[in-house]
């Protein structure tokens, strides 16, 4: 009888700690995410017009471009498309630019 009660109590305690641990993990995760977002915002000057996530500067063929951290969309500033297209005239982008430019 006493054993059964102890077992039940133990199970309840375990459940309590598992729940507490989960809450703690969720809090840590939220904190981490907030910090990541904050640090991204500090380095970013722009947000994606499509999904609102911050853009992160990265280099593509030695040209600095902005890539969305949410949808991975790439945004080019004025002159950057020409710079990218001009690098390789045989690329689809180069062809596109020559055809439309």
Residues at the interface with Zn ion (CB under 5 A): 48, 50-51, 53, 68, 70-71, 73
Tell me the backbone φ, ψ of residue 99, rounded to 5 degrees: -70, -40
Q: Which is nearer to Zn ion, 75 or 97 (CB)?
A: 75
Close Cβ partners of 73 (under 8 Å, ≥ 6 residues apart): 48, 50, 51, 67
**To the nearest whole angstrom, how small is the minimum distance from the Cβ of residue 55 to Zn ion?**
8
**To the nearest whole angstrom, how small is the minimum distance from the Cβ of residue 51 to Zn ion?**
4
**To the nearest whole angstrom, how small is the minimum distance from the Cβ of residue 53 to Zn ion?**
5
Dist. CA 96–CA 45, nearest whole Å: 29
């Amino acid at each position: 009888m006493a054993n059964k009660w102890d077992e039940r109590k133990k199970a309840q305690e375990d459940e309590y700690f598992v729940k507490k641990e989960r809450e703690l993990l969720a809090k840590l995760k939220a904190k981490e995410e907030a910090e990541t977002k904050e640090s991204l915002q500090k380095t970013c000057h722009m947000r994606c017009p499509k999904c609102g996530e911050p853009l992160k500067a990265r280099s593509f063929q030695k040209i600095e471009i902005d890539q969305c951290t949410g949808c991975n969309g790439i945004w080019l500033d004025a002159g950057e498309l020409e710079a990218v297209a001009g690098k390789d005239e045989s690329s689809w982008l180069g062809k596109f630019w020559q055809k439309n430019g």
